[in-house]
A and B are shown apart, each in its own frame.
Chain A
C-alpha cells in the first residue's frame, strides 16, 4: 500500500532557486528516506532521517521531519540543471525488522530545473 503522499507532483524552477518538496505519511515510522531517480533509471539514496531526529543536512540537501504531523520536507538549495529528476520519499515502518527491510514509497515529485 502506498502511504507517502508527495506535494507538489511537479515543480519547475530556475537554476539557483531553492526547491522544496513535501511528503506526508500515515503510520508510525522507524525512519524516512529520500531517493532521487533520473528518468527511467534506478533510484539513488539521498538522505535518511530517523524518527527521533527533526532536521538533517547533507551538502545542499536539508530534510526536516515532523512526526506529530507525519510529514517531511526536502529542501534543495541553489538548484542546478543537473538536479532535474524525480524525488521520492520512502518510509520504514516501526515493524520493519520483520518485513525484510520493506520501504513504502510515495508517488514522487518531478523537479525540473531550467538553466
Chain B
C-alpha cells in the first residue's frame, strides 16, 4: 500500500530535549516536505527536499533541522525544542513534476512543556 508513515504519532517532551520525528514514504517520490499545523494559522511549510541531499527552508524553518540521506526518509529534528513548537506536524511527499499532488502522513502531535 502506498503510504507515508510518521513516528511517533504522539510525543510529550520537555524543553531542550532533542528529538527526531521520522518520516518514510514507499512511493519513490522525489519531493518531501514537513508542515506544521496550528489553529488559526493553517498549514505552514517548515522544510522541503527536492531529492537526496537537497533540502531547503520553507516558511518557518527556525528551530528545525532536516536531512535527506535516502530517498524514502526525511526526518525532522528539533535540537532544542521549545513550547512554541507544540504543534501538529505532517510529512508529505509528491512525485509528479507537473501537478505536485501531495500525499500526507498521519501526523505527529508534539507537546513541549
Complex CA gap A31/B102 in Å reads 13
- Whether A14 sits at the interface, judged by CB under 8 Å, is no
Interface size class of A (residues with CB under 8 A): 20 to 34
Q: How many residues of B contact A (CB 8 A)?
A: 32
Verify B33–A100 contact, CB threshold 8 A. yes
Verify A96–B90 contact, CB threshold 8 A. no
Within 8 A of A (CB), among B8-39: 31, 33, 35
Q: Is the interface of B mostly helix, strand, loop or mixed?
A: strand
Residues of B close to A44: CB separation below 8 A: 104
- Whether A28 sits at the interface, judged by CB under 8 Å, is no
Residues of B close to A88: CB separation below 8 A: 42-43
Interchain CB contact (< 8 A) of B42 among A2, A31, A40, A92: A2
Q: B43 to nearest A CB, angstroms?
A: 4
Verify B106–A41 contact, CB threshold 8 A. yes
Residues of A close to B94: CB separation below 8 A: 101
Complex CA gap A106/B42 in Å reads 7
Seen from chain A, the residues whose Cβ lies within 8 Å of a Cβ on chain B are: 1-2, 4, 30-31, 33, 35, 40-45, 48, 50, 88, 90, 92, 96-97, 99-103, 105-108
Seen from chain B, the residues whose Cβ lies within 8 Å of a Cβ on chain A are: 4, 31, 33, 35, 40-45, 48-50, 56, 58-59, 88, 90, 92, 94, 97-107, 109
